[in-house]
Amino acid sequence: MSNSKLVSYTGLSPNHSGKRVCQISRITPHAVVGQLSVERICDCFKDKGRQASCNYAIGADGRIGLCVDEANRSWCSSSRDNDQRAITIECASDLTEPYAMKPEVYSALVNLCADICRRNGKQKLIWIADREKALEYSVKSDEMLLTVHRWFARKSCPGNWLFERMGSLAHEVNSRL
Ligand SMILES: [Zn+2]
């Protein structure tokens, strides 16, 4: 298992559970709440007291950082079940709803998702907007499922801006696979 070569900054976090016990079958994009640099996002997860992390971070200028190795389970989505399966990505966003993201961030997210799918042998990224249907969906070995933090906790993450674009995200990634 490898990490993305799209990474331009590595700031590893001690906040993870070690090796995953499930196969990678999901990608979960999050909103950071703040137009932060990739260094700021990764560095805030170096604090053990935060008890939080992500696999990748995308800063406001679209640069990508590695925070927790893909092979390891990050602490990101308020769900053991999800984080064991998901590659989690924190994306710089506005401070308030709809937590809009810069075009550079969205474009980096498309590139990163395509790269993650390719390296993990996935030919299709799937978005099912209905929570129950998505979580009941049986993901095939060459498929990757998009999930969102709001399904696992009482919060807006990844914000309405990205939530409304999840179908487009899947479509744009699939056009590259
Ligand atoms: Zn989140």
**pLDDT tier for residue 93 given thresholds of 50, 70 and 90:** very high
**Quick one: average pLDDT of 38-53?**
95
Measured in Å, residue 31 CA sits from the centre of ligand 1 at 6
- For residue 160, is pLDDT > 90? yes
167-176 pLDDT, tens digit each: 999 999 999 9
CA of 167 to the centre of ligand 1 (A): 18
pLDDT at 1 over 80: no
User: Quick one: pLDDT at residue 110?
Assistant: 98
Over range 63-77, report the average pLDDT.
98
Q: What is the distance between the alpha carbons of residues 51 and 61, in angstroms, rounded to a whole number?
A: 26
- Global pTM reads 0.98
pLDDT grade for 129, boundaries at 50, 70 and 90: very high
Collapsing DSSP to helix, strand or coil, 144 comes out as: strand
CA distance 100 to 173: 20
Q: Say whether pLDDT at 124 is over 90.
A: yes
| CA 76 to centroid of ligand 1, rounded, Å | 6
Q: pLDDT category, 148, cuts 50, 70, 90?
A: very high
> pLDDT at position 66, please?
98
Tell me what percent of the residues of the chain surpass a pLDDT of 70. 99
- How far is ligand 1, taken at its centre, from the CA of residue 123, in Å? 25
Whole-angstrom CA distances from 5 to 65, 66, 126, 144, 175 are 10, 10, 23, 19, 20
- pLDDT band at 18, cuts 50/70/90? very high
Between the CA of 173 and the centroid of ligand 1 the distance, in Å, is 21
Ramachandran bin of 159, using left for φ above 0, alpha for ψ from -120 to 50, beta for the remaining angles? left
Give 68's DSSP letter. Answer: S
Question: 3-state DSSP helix/strand/coil percent for the chain, to nearest 5?
Answer: 30, 20, 45
Count CB neighbours of 133 within 10 A.
9
Assigned superfamily of 7-172: Peptidoglycan recognition protein-like (3.40.80.10)
